[in-house]
């Protein structure tokens, strides 16, 4: 059995190199398909990191009127903290808001001068509310709307809530991610079908050029496995070589993109590639092997009757 296995490996390798030009076309198309699969994995990580970054900065800010009593603000804060959707509530007093405003506009003399001329603090207190996940902000916003509707028109406590702009940013990025993922999957499926079709034809051509050898093997009583094995191995080699080549192509591109993704998305795609290389290699090389195996199995079952 071991001798037969070594002979199958040797015959498959010889067949791979003997039809080098035809094999090159299969490897090229399959490399493109696997490169797209790898690119989709990288893009998905970048978009996921950017969405997580935006989500980490998103909150609901409740701004109170200048005349809002401290007791009413604290009572609302207590009710918000009791909600299961709320992860954290940060309170900013009027005095703290004024200090932060002065720090932000320390280089703007006109704004600071206008503030001094007012002679009093024009800023109200505020609450910054963080939810456990972005899907829960809607419920918190509805709760705040109910609280604002229950206030007396003569003495309002809540001035405004800024949830809408943050929600639009998340929804826009989420829709972009969905569109990119759909387009990537469509492109990937088209290339996979093309790769399988070309590899199928390559194996069919290899079977045709080896027809005399196959006849001799039949005459001397070679087993079906021994006859079919080299062609199946050729398909596996196409996928494995294509996977390795696609990873080799990806690496310098990721070296170039790494610093840019880190500065823009706070996510270094090169570091992710290196730290998860084993998983990425298994996915890409495994996909190539599966595609090659499927192609060769289809060709062998159709054109090699033994």
Q: What is the pLDDT of residues 259-285, one digit of tens each?
A: 888 888 778 899 999 999 999 999 999
Tell me, yes or no, whether 242 lies in a domain.
yes
Mark whether 217 and 282 lie in a shared domain. Answer: yes
Tell me, yes or no, whether 164 lies in a domain.
no
Mark whether 221 and 261 lie in a shared domain. Answer: yes
Residue 258 has pLDDT above 70, yes or no: yes
Mark whether 92 and 16 lie in a shared domain. Answer: no
Look at 68 and 200; give whichever has higher pLDDT: 68
Mark whether 176 and 274 lie in a shared domain. Answer: yes
- Res. 210 pLDDT band, cuts 50 70 90: low
State what percent of residues in the chain have pLDDT above 70: 78
Residue 80 has pLDDT above 60, yes or no: yes
What was the pLDDT predicted at 252? 93
Whole domain around residue 84: which residue ranges?
Answer: 66-156
Residue (of 194, 236, 260, 215) closest to 42 by Cα position: 260
Mark whether 39 and 176 lie in a shared domain. Answer: yes
Residue 184 has pLDDT above 90, yes or no: no
CA-CA distance, 286 to 23, in Å (whole number)?
19
Q: Output the average pLDDT for the chain.
A: 79
Residue 145 has pLDDT above 90, yes or no: no
What's the number of domains the chain is made of?
2
Residue 71 has pLDDT above 90, yes or no: no
Tell me the C-alpha to C-alpha distance, in Å, between residue 293 and each of 95, 96, 217, 231, 300: 70, 67, 23, 9, 10
- Res. 244 pLDDT band, cuts 50 70 90: very high
CA-CA distance, 178 to 185, in Å (whole number)?
11
Strand partners, 126: 63, 92
Tell me, yes or no, whether 163 lies in a domain.
no
Beta-sheet strand order (sheet of 126-131)? 86-92, 126-131, 60-64, 158-161
Provide the token pair at 24.
């090159």
Mean pLDDT in residue range 198-203: 74
Mark whether 50 and 195 lie in a shared domain. Answer: yes
Task: Using CA atoms of 90, 96, 101, 103 in order, give the dihedral in degrees to the nearest 10.
Answer: -110
Mark whether 120 and 18 lie in a shared domain. Answer: no
Tell me, yes or no, whether 255 lies in a domain.
yes
Tell me, yes or no, whether 295 lies in a domain.
yes
Residue 37 has pLDDT above 80, yes or no: yes
Tell me, yes or no, whether 165 lies in a domain.
no
């Amino acid at each position: 059995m071991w001798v037969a296995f070594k002979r199958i490996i040797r015959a498959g390798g010889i067949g791979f190199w003997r039809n080098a030009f035809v094999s090159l076309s299969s490897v090229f198309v399959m490399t493109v398909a696997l490169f797209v699969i790898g690119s989709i994995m990288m893009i998905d990580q970048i978009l996921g990191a950017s969405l997580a970054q935006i989500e980490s900065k998103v909150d609901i800010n409740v701004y109170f009127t200048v005349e809002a009593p401290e007791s009413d603000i604290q009572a609302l804060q207590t009710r918000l903290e009791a909600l299961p959707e709320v992860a954290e509530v940060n309170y900013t007093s009027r005095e703290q808001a004024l200090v932060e405003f002065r720090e932000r506009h320390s280089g703007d003399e006109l704004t600071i001068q206008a503030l001094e001329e007012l002679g009093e603090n024009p800023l109200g207190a505020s609450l910054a509310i963080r939810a456990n996940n972005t899907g829960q902000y809607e419920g918190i916003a509805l709760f705040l709307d109910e609280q604002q509707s229950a206030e007396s028109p003569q003495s309002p406590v809540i001035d405004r809530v800024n949830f809408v702009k943050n929600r639009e940013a998340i929804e826009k990025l989420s829709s972009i991610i969905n569109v990119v993922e759909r387009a990537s999957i469509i492109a990937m499926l088209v290339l996979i079908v093309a790769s399988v079709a070309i590899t199928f034809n390559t194996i069919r051509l290899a079977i045709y050029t080896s027809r005399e050898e196959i006849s001799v093997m039949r005459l001397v009583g070679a087993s079906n496995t021994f006859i079919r094995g080299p062609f199946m191995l050729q398909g596996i080699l196409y996928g494995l070589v294509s996977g390795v080549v696609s990873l080799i192509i990806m690496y310098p591109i990721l070296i170039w993109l790494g610093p840019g993704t880190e500065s823009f998305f706070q996510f270094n795609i090169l570091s992710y590639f290196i730290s998860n290389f084993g998983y990425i290699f298994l996915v890409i090389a495994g996909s190539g092997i599966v595609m090659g195996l499927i192609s060769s199995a289809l060709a062998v079952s159709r054109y090699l009757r033994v």
